[in-house]
């Protein structure tokens, strides 16, 4: 593995644990300076301390416009530029359209959809100043099909996919690429909220017959973030062991 991101700075939301932490580790190993942001402060601080000099943690709620301004400013103050944004923070709450708790529906809209929208908006100016960049939005296979019992989550992940393609067109004149990654079931704390029967059925329906690892998603993000993907924008990269084929 080379270090294709040497001299670049990446900001990863929800980077304290799960898929986000794997993305942080991978981009850091690829040479990037990494701003880790999350509402989980202790885990985020610990990860930054472990990685050392090229990593910083900033407390950050992605639903807060002012907090976005602050973390982008702090990232620029720490590392001088922003080249890569990974909108990874996300929450999942089960519930049918008929019965889902409305506060939970709104929470998912705000974190998964509005948070991603704000991230892209706030990354634009610093990436333009850097002469270009790469934004990777973490959607889900739930952004590519319908899933009974997950209507609000599915809605937010389709929204991420649609906003990604729109931003790809709007940001292209500034040499900013925007792509989405669509994980299948991945081994993280989020799976605790998924019905075990649905999980079992998902693995059975997966041609590669396993649950994914956070590192599987980190590898896809590293590709889209780096120079090998220089002609790739508006794409959706599904990483699900073949489940939705």
Q: Which residues bind ligand NAP (CB under 6 A)?
A: 13-14, 16-20, 38-40, 60-63, 88-92, 111, 138, 140, 183, 185-186, 188-191
Say how far residue 170 (Cα) sits from the centre of its chain: 20
Catalytic, 153? Answer: yes
40 vs 84, beta carbon nearer ligand NAP: 40
Q: Could you tell me the smallest distance in angstroms from the CB atom of residue 6 to ligand NAP?
A: 26
Asked if 160 and 214 touch (Cβ cutoff 8 Å), the reply is no
State the Cα–Cα distance between residues 14 and 60, nearest whole angstrom. 9
In our burial notation (b when 16+ CB lie closer than 10 A, e otherwise), range 140-149 reads bbbbbeeeee
State the Cα–Cα distance between residues 225 and 136, nearest whole angstrom. 7
Q: Could you tell me the smallest distance in angstroms from the CB atom of residue 176 to ligand NAP?
A: 21
Which of 92, 153, 185, 223 is catalytic? The answer is 153
State the Cα–Cα distance between residues 241 and 245, nearest whole angstrom. 9
57 vs 79, beta carbon nearer ligand NAP: 57
Output phi, psi for 206, to 5 deg.
-95, 115
Q: Could you tell me the smallest distance in angstroms from the CB atom of residue 141 to ligand NAP?
A: 7
Output phi, psi for 229, to 5 deg.
-105, 25
Sign of CA dihedral 9, 12, 16, 20: negative
78 vs 198, beta carbon nearer ligand NAP: 198
5 vs 111, beta carbon nearer ligand NAP: 111
Give the residue among 147, 242, 157, 158 at the shortest CA–CA distance from 198: 147
Q: Could you tell me the smallest distance in angstroms from the CB atom of residue 94 to ligand NAP?
A: 13
130 vs 160, beta carbon nearer ligand NAP: 160
Q: Which residues are catalytic?
A: 153
């Amino acid at each position: 593995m080379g270090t294709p991101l040497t001299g670049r700075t990446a900001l990863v939301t929800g980077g304290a644990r799960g898929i986000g932490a794997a993305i942080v580790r991978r981009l850091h190993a690829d040479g990037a300076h990494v701003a880790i942001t999350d509402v989980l402060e202790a885990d985020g601080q610990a990860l930054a301390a472990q990685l050392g000099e090229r990593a910083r943690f900033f407390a950050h709620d992605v639903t807060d416009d002012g907090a976005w301004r602050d973390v982008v400013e702090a990232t620029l103050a720490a590392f001088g530029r922003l080249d890569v944004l990974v909108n990874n923070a996300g929450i999942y709450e089960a519930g049918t359209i008929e019965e889902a708790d409305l506060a939970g529906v709104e929470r998912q809209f705000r974190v998964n959809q509005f948070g991603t929208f704000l991230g892209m908006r706030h990354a634009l100016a610093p990436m333009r100043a850097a002469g270009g960049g790469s934004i990777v939005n973490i959607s889900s296979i739930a952004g590519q099909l319908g899933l009974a019992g997950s209507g609000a989550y599915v809605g937010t992940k389709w929204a991420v996919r649609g906003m990604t393609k729109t931003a790809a067109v709007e940001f292209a004149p500034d040499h900013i690429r925007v792509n989405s990654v669509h994980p299948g079931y991945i081994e993280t704390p989020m799976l605790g909220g998924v019905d075990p029967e649905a999980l079992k059925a998902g693995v059975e329906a997966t041609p590669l017959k396993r649950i994914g690892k956070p590192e599987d998603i980190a590898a896809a993000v590293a590709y889209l973030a780096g120079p090998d993907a220089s002609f790739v924008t508006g794409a959706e990269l599904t990483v699900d062991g073949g489940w939705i084929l």
